[in-house]
Structure formats: structure tokens, C-alpha cells
Amino acid sequence: MPRGPRLDEPGTLHHVMMRGIEKGTIVQDGIDRTEFLKRMGTLAQITQTPLYAFALMNNHVHILLKSGPLGLASYMRRLLSGYAQYYNRRHNRVGHLFQNRYKSIICEEEAYFDKLVAYIHLNPLKAGLVETLEALASYPWTGHAVIMNRINHSWLDRDYVLGFFGSSHRTAKKAYLDYLQEEIGQDRQKELTGGGIVRSHGGWINVLSMRKKGIRALGDERILGSYAFVRQLLKDTEEGQKSELPGEERGRLIECEIEQTCRDAGITESFLRSGSLSMNLPVIRKQLAVKFVIEHGLSLTETARQLGVTASAVSYMLKHR
């Protein structure tokens, strides 16, 4: 995984959408849907990726999440590639399942979290898959049923979502339901998933207001937020990209760190990569793995190659650091 710019720092809120190729189905029955959710949730726990809302439709998926320590790209790549392999095996098909890349929008949490949760969870109701809000509470393929405590998915952070609506579960759940009832009649699609300048500032009314005040409205199709939020993110991204080391320089730095670490520990590089668990090797490898991935942006595969372990072992080290 190449190092993500600061636009995708751990803790960044994303609204992620992915569609079936040529608008084709990505789930055919309850078995497929259960498998997708199992993979989505298990991987979220492994990668420490907080999940807040989801809607699994026949030909597309919405997920509201925050980047974990390894970033969004690592999580999504493993989720989509793993599920696509499962789906192709089960349905005896070949080729791509999802349309191009997934779409990700970085969101300003304070201003849009409640709107995004409602928009995502109301998808089946607005699509006519269920007829009422009460029926949606028992519909198993969105996070709404988890929020309503009809289904238990430990990987969905129900407490965090309810905390946005009230100080106790009882009052928060009522406020959440009241909010969804209000949002049923709202068309938020362009505001929350549209493009560029309109989405970045919550609609044309806000953009025009800024123009009247002489403020140049920055627009970026990756961002949903206020002018200040968009400006700061773009600034941080530019600074983050400037600060990244070129590939060759980063490679030399990693070589030097391995040499110095082995010298300090009184071991050889070949012993470090031998797979042995003797002496203090597991601790040394973990320290190097964290530094290589988090600080230098090395992929799990390349980090594993440098340390003589598997990529899954590196993932385990990062999870338990």
C-alpha cells in the first residue's frame, strides 16, 4: 500500500460507494449478502476500521466508515477482491465484478455525519425494497437494523452513531428515528454524492452565498464539507505529498534502518529474515513493521519481504502493536 496523503489519515470519515460492473448484480441471494457482510465486518475488526452505516443493495453498496491505521485503500482492496473471488467461484463466472474503482468521499463529520447515516440507511426504503420505516428496522441488509437493536453486528459502532443523537440510548434512538422520518422526504443525493463544488459546500445555495461574500468556493469531488474544511484538507494533502520520500531514497532509508537495527541487536540480517522466533526477533520485527508501514508507507507485501515473514503476519503485528 503506497502511503496515503493526509487526505486519508487514520480517522478520516469516508462515504464509500461501489457498483456492479455495467450495473450488474453483486449479490444474488441471502447467502451472498451474508457473505459480503461477514467479510466487511471481519475485515473491519482486523484492520481496526470503524464502521457506522451501510446499505447492501442488489447492484451497489454504501458504507460509512473511518480509515484505520492502514488506510482506506488497503481495507477496500481486500474486501472487494476477496468477495469478488468468492462470488465468481460460487456463481461459476469470470471477470470483474465491480465497476472500476470504488468511489470515496471524505466527509466533514460534524456537519454531515447524521445526514450520511440517514441517507445510507434509507436506501432500501426509497428504492421500494421495504414499504415503511418500521419494516426497515427488521431489514437485515442495512445498519439501521443494528441501530434499532434488531440485529447484532459487533463490528458496527452502534454506540457512536447513537451518541450523535442523544446522551442515552433511549432518547438517542427516538431522536434518530425522528430524524429518519424527516429525511424520508428529502432528496440528498446531489448534496451528498454529487460532484465538485456543489457537494463540497452542501448545494448551490451555499456556493452562491459564498460568492456574494466574495469567497472563492473551492471544489473537489473527493470532499464533502465546508469551505474551511475543503481548504484545509487540500492544503494538508499538498503538504503531505511534498513531504513523501522518493522511492529510491525510501528504499535506502529502509536498508539503513534494517542494518542499524541488526547491528544494535547483535544479529545478522539473514537471521532477522529467517523466520526464527528465538531471542527478541518477534519484537524487533514488529517495531520495524510498524515503522515501515506507518511512517514510510511501505506496502504489507514489501514489508513482509524485507522482514522475511508473510503479509498476514505484518497485518497481525500492526493490529497488536
pLDDT (0 to 100) of residue 84:
95
pLDDT digits (tens, 9 = 90+) for 161-188: 999 999 999 999 999 999 999 999 998 8
* In the predicted structure, residue 213 carries a pLDDT above the cut 60: no
Highest mean pLDDT: which range of 63-67, 199-203, 244-248 = 63-67
Highest mean pLDDT: which range of 106-110, 191-195, 239-243, 276-280 = 106-110
The hierarchical CATH code for the domain 6-183 is 3.30.70.1290
Q: Which three cell numbers stand for residue 289?
A: 513493521
238 vs 131: which has the higher pLDDT: 131
Give the DSSP letter of residue 127.
Answer: T
The DSSP-derived string for 26-73 is S--SHHHHHHHHHHHHHHHHHHT--EEEEEE-SSEEEEEEE--TT-HH
Tell if the pTM clears 0.75, that is, is over it: no
What is residue 162's three-state secondary structure?
helix
Nearest alpha-carbon partner for 192 in 126, 101, 137: 126
pLDDT digits (tens, 9 = 90+) for 257-282: 898 889 888 899 999 998 888 878 89
Q: What residue spans define the domains of the chain?
A: 6-183, 194-243, 247-319
pLDDT digits (tens, 9 = 90+) for 58-111: 999 999 999 998 889 889 999 999 999 999 999 999 999 998 778 888 898 998
Residues 6+ apart with CB under 8 A from 278: none
pLDDT (0 to 100) of residue 313:
86
Residues 6+ apart with CB under 8 A from 170: none
